[in-house]
């Protein structure tokens, strides 16, 4: 039986989430826009087009960098 919740790591901090979440789901949950985010999933950079196809597993590691413009 698949657990309801798993623990992953986001930017070095533990984070509990649903076991059915995709990378796109976690980006949406965090209130981020996927076009302004650089996402590293288990040490691999993931492009926007693959976010909905990759589902989180226990102990996955995410590094999320947001791109901020300025002047």
What is the residue-level pLDDT of the chain in tens, covering all 71 positions? 667 999 999 999 999 999 999 999 999 999 998 888 899 999 999 998 999 999 999 999 999 998 777 76
Q: Can you tell me the distance from the alpha carbon of 31 to that of 15, in angstroms, rounded to the nearest whole number?
A: 15
Indicate whether 45 belongs to any domain. Answer: yes
- CATH number of the domain enclosing 45: 3.10.20.30
The pLDDT score that the predictor gives to residue 20 is 92
User: Considering the entire predicted model, what is its pTM?
Assistant: 0.85
Domain that holds residue 59: 5-66
- Count of domains observed in the chain: 1
The pLDDT score that the predictor gives to residue 71 is 63
CA atoms within 13 A on the CB side of 58: 5
Indicate whether 71 belongs to any domain. Answer: no
The pLDDT score that the predictor gives to residue 68 is 74
Residue 34 corresponds to which tokens in the numbers above? 């996927």
Residue 16 corresponds to which tokens in the numbers above? 């509990």
Q: Can you tell me the distance from the alpha carbon of 66 to that of 64, in angstroms, rounded to the nearest whole number?
A: 7
């Amino acid at each position: 039986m698949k657990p309801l919740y798993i623990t992953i790591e986001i930017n070095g901090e533990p984070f509990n989430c649903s076991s059915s979440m995709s990378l796109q789901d976690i980006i949406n949950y965090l209130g981020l826009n996927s076009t302004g985010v650089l996402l590293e999933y288990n040490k691999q950079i993931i492009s926007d087009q693959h976010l909905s196809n990759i589902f989180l597993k226990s102990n996955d590691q995410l590094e999320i960098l947001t791109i901020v413009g300025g002047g």
